[in-house]
Amino acid sequence: MSYKEIIAKYAEVPGGIIEAFHAVEKELSFLPEEAIAEAARVFKVPAAEAFGVASFYSMFSTKARGKNVIRLCESAPCHVAGAAEVVAAIEKELGIRMGESTNDGLFALEFTECVGQCQATPVITINSKPYLDVTPAIIPNILAEYK
Amino acid sequence: MAEEMRIVLRNYGKIDPLNIDEYIAAGGYKALEKAKGMNKIDLIEEVKKSNLRGRGGAGFNCGQKWFFAYQTNADQKYVVCNADEGEPGTYKDRLIMQGDPQSVLEGMAVCGYAIGANKGFIYCRGEYPYVVDILNQAIDQAKAKGVLGDFDIEVRMGAGAYVCGEETALIESIEGHRGEPRFKPPFPGVEGLWGKPTIINNVETFANIPVIVDKGGDWYAAIGAPSYPGTKVLTLTGDVNNKTFFEVPTSTTIREVVYGLGGGVAGGKKFKAVQIGGTSGGFIPESLLDTAISFDAMSAIGATLGSGAVFVMDESRDMVDVVSKITKFFEHESCGKCAPCREGTARMNELVGKIKGGKGSAADIALLKKLGGVMSIACLCGLGQAAPAPVLTTIGHFAADYEDKLV
């Protein structure tokens, strides 16, 4: 589905621009400039305002990124549970740094704040699916699911 | 010895959350039926009498809040459930919504009847798409059964902004805007979502409502601490043996939580500190562990109950290291609308980083104290007002961790 078709589905939802952006990201993994301009037109707000919404929320990316978004929690409970070692292991496994995407477009690597799964820290999410009690040793197995 | 008491989590693990028949068989929706047979003002009085105070962290009297919206005349009113659970170390709202979603819908419907609203929204954080699915299924089932009557509920998803837990920022986000808090007054009870009277309560607050209607305000008011009665769902994280959740009466002490239910500090190490209420909560030393977790008892020691997150740290933890993660968090999550918070959180993170890096001086600590004092008064919303608490309480209770690093 094109971003135009996706956004059109939310045209009648009051305040639906955020829902529309979620739907576009699900398809494209980020919000292209044209999609933000289209949303501004559909929801009858200035382009600056639509861009303001897109850039405000941390789950929205206005830059192209990998298809599978890996987010590593860096809040205090994950921090004291060894999140830094998990970060190092994933960076090594994918050969990229935090904030970057792999060349094959398969993975994007980002920090996040708490994802609310603190019973089993450290936690990472891939496309919002949580992985619990993550250790450097199990990283390759987790990533294999998405290759 | 502290014991659990499950009111909010009364059905957790006992019923299939995706089968409304099991909720109804467990007594569900009887409270809504009873509420609808009551005069609205009597219903609000009953909630007021329970002295239930908001479980999202602010601790405002729930029935009083409902009364404001009730007495405001409008062609449309709204009920909003705040499910934007974002305090690090907190997952109690997720547990409630995953384990017993109908209890939240029923609480919202009772509120809708009381204030005269036929439309509700649940604003669920973007990190919980799997909870959004559960809520939508629960709403579909409730509509199919007809239990909600003419009360409609819609789920909206956030997109990763801690500040949207602030009620007016949350309203802005539902309206499709950046999640920046509004100036108050007007309060949402008078002018909220799309300018209409709106009640915003936390997930845990709503989940308490059916039980209060069913058993009466007096019954509830007698549980736990009199000034903040009932129970609180706590989530334990960090260096504690039992990293899990408990629901306890609000008269339970911190020591009972950490050493009783929590099983004490992990790995046989010594206790150093506990931070309660999420990342904006104060750090509490050993000497204050006999404080009850209730809202006012916590306020009295310069701490908060907040969301009920309990983050335990052992003797090996450096407070400046932990606090540096927290100041970074607030710099990132400040929405930027007001200068004291936008600039204050950034400078605070800079100063703590300087001290952590071994380049700070006693003057930097004095500056942190002054900055924290200004922010707690001058910031527009709770985010900026609470942001200095971890810094100020660690400087107060764990000064040595800072002093060791000074030039």
- Model pLDDT for residues B356-385, shown as the tens digit of each residue: 999 999 999 999 999 999 999 999 999 999
Quote ipTM for the complex. 0.97
Q: Which long-range contacts (CB under 8 A, 24 or more apart) does B61-67 make?
A: B62/B201, B62/B205, B62/B209, B65/B189, B65/B199, B65/B201, B66/B111, B66/B114, B66/B115, B66/B199
Of B161, B175, B317, the CB nearest to A56: B161
Handedness of CA B358, B363, B369, B374 (dihedral sign): negative
Q: Which helix (H) or strand (E) holds B199?
A: strand B198-202
A81: nearest CA partner in chain B: B238
- The predicted pLDDT at position B333 comes to 94
Averaged pLDDT, B166-172: 97
Counting one residue from chain A and one from chain B, the pairs whose CB atoms sit within 8 A come to 126
Question: Mutating which of B122, B237, B279 best tests the A interface, going by the most A Cβ atoms within 10 A?
Answer: B237
pTM of the predicted model over 0.95 = yes
Task: Answer for the pair B306, B231: CB distance below 8 angstroms, yes or no.
Answer: no
- 3 state DSSP class of A96: coil
First to last CA, chain B: 46
- The predicted pLDDT at position B355 comes to 98
Per-residue pLDDT tens digits for B221-260: 999 999 999 999 999 999 999 999 999 999 999 999 999 9
- Binary contact (B127, A125; C-beta < 8 A): yes
CA distance A15 to chain B (A): 4
The fold adopted by the segment(s) B319-403 is: de novo design (two linked rop proteins) (1.20.1440)
Give the domain ranges of chain B: 20-222, 225-314, 319-403
Using 70 as the pLDDT threshold, list the residues of chain A that sit under it: none
CA angle B186, B188, B191 (to 5 degrees): 60
Give the domain ranges of chain A: 3-56, 68-144
* Integer CA distances (angstroms), B367 to B173, B191, B355, B371, in order: 35, 39, 12, 6
Cα B30 from Cα B62, distance rounded (Å): 21
Tell which residue, B240, B234, B167, has the closest CA to residue B198: B167
Question: Both tokens of residue B125?
Answer: 């954080």
Q: Is residue B219 predicted with pLDDT exceeding 80?
A: yes
* Integer CA distances (angstroms), A29 to A25, A127, B75, B293, in order: 4, 9, 41, 43
Domain B20-222 has CATH 2.60.40.2470: no
Task: Answer for the pair B81, B201: CB distance below 8 angstroms, yes or no.
Answer: yes
- The predicted pLDDT at position B1 comes to 58
Of A15, A59, A121, the CB nearest to B126: A59
- The predicted pLDDT at position B2 comes to 74
Per-residue pLDDT tens digits for B34-48: 999 999 999 999 999
B85: nearest CA partner in chain A: A116
- The predicted pLDDT at position A1 comes to 86
Of A45, A59, A79, the CB nearest to B325: A79
Task: Name the pLDDT band for B314 (thresholds 50, 70, 90).
Answer: very high
Per-residue pLDDT tens digits for A74-92: 998 999 999 999 999 999 9
Q: Is residue B95 predicted with pLDDT exceeding 80?
A: yes
Residues of B in contact with A79 (CB under 8 A): 322, 325
Handedness of CA B244, B245, B249, B251 (dihedral sign): positive
B262 touches chain A (CB under 8 A): no
- Residue B343's CB is within 10 A of a number of other CB atoms, namely 14
Q: Is residue B292 predicted with pLDDT exceeding 80?
A: yes
Averaged pLDDT, B62-88: 97
Mean pLDDT (chain B, rounded): 97
Task: Answer for the pair B394, B275: CB distance below 8 angstroms, yes or no.
Answer: no
* Integer CA distances (angstroms), B207 to B57, B150, B262, in order: 15, 20, 24
Contacts (Cβ under 8 Å, ≥6 apart) of B104: B81, B96, B97, B122, B135, B203, B206, B207
Q: Is residue B283 predicted with pLDDT exceeding 80?
A: yes
CATH of domain A68-144: 3.40.30.10
- The predicted pLDDT at position A87 comes to 97
- Binary contact (A118, B177; C-beta < 8 A): no
Handedness of CA B105, B108, B113, B119 (dihedral sign): negative
Domain B225-314 has CATH 3.30.1310.10: no
